[in-house]
Amino acid sequence: MAIIVDSETRLVVQGITGREGSFHAARNKAYGTNVVAGVTPGKGGGDVDGIPVFDSVREAVAETSPNTAMVFVPARFAADAIYEAVDAGIETVICITEGIPAHDMLRVYNYVYPRGVTLVGPNCPGVLSPGKANVGIIPAEIFREGNVGLVSRSGTLTYQIGHELAQLGVGQSTIVGIGGDPVVGSSFLDVLARFERDPETEYVVMVGEIGGAEEEKAASFIEAEMTKPVIAYIAGFTAPPGKTMGHAGAIISGTAGTAQAKKEALEAHGVRVGTNPTEVARLVAEVVGART
């Protein structure tokens, strides 16, 4: 089955005629993702790499029946692009755009959530289900098919851990980059619950970072709700308090939100935590080997 994207995904790319949109739409298509349409207002009637371009998502839906949208629209227009996709009946929206104001995303979240639409991002690398579909900027060639679900706030750490797992012969069911902004459409809890229900996922890796309390919430959820082994990694053990490190959401105040506090919370709920990406991959390989 995988989660969020799979062989049944029909993708429309919003902002497809831009540099990033056209490049990654073509890469996603080359991987095997069914990219059925693109949208750029005022440029309907053309195509990008054989993908038809429409002036609106509603037109694209009427002509090509997409069920998933990928947003590569500039930050000042990205919130409206998400609204447009939802209003057109799209079931899953994956927003790659970074720099969207938090207040805009608060409004977007409260609009999307009651409608039952899956929103991943913003400021995320997307979602990859190896061998089935790639929606986003994840370098799919370094991953392999398997039974380990991977959810992360960090794009590059996702790539590193996934690649190290693949080198150890451990493949992935789905890789989900939820994004590093303070307000995102899908939380660790949302994705962990999906992995728990997914029959193709037997193990889970969670990659967190400093700032906020999402990892602590996830720790409680894992102990109470999950039957599948979870291995975690927290980036930012050397980050100084009061500094934003990389992502807008990666800021700590005092002892709250530190890597050490998150590690202790996870371990207190029975989750093994690696101290670096290589150790995480090794821990997963040990768990997978012990259960096969």
Residues assigned a catalytic role: 247
DSSP output for 47-113: EETTEEEESSHHHHHHHH---EEEE---HHHHHHHHHHHHHTT-SEEEE------HHHHHHHHHHHG
What are the b/e assignments for 50-70, b being 16+ CB within 10 Å? Answer: ebbbbeebebbbeebebbbbb
Q: Which residue do the tokens 């590093």 mark?
A: 180
Distance from C-alpha of 163 to C-alpha of 141, rounded to nearest angstrom: 9
Distance from C-alpha of 40 to C-alpha of 72, rounded to nearest angstrom: 10
- Bridge partner residues of 149 (DSSP): 204
End-to-end CA distance of the chain: 21
Angle (deg, nearest 10), helices 57-64 and 75-87: 40
Q: Which residue do the tokens 């509603």 mark?
A: 58
For residue 206, give the H/E element and its range: strand 203-209
HSE, side-chain direction, 13 A CA sphere, residue 90: 35
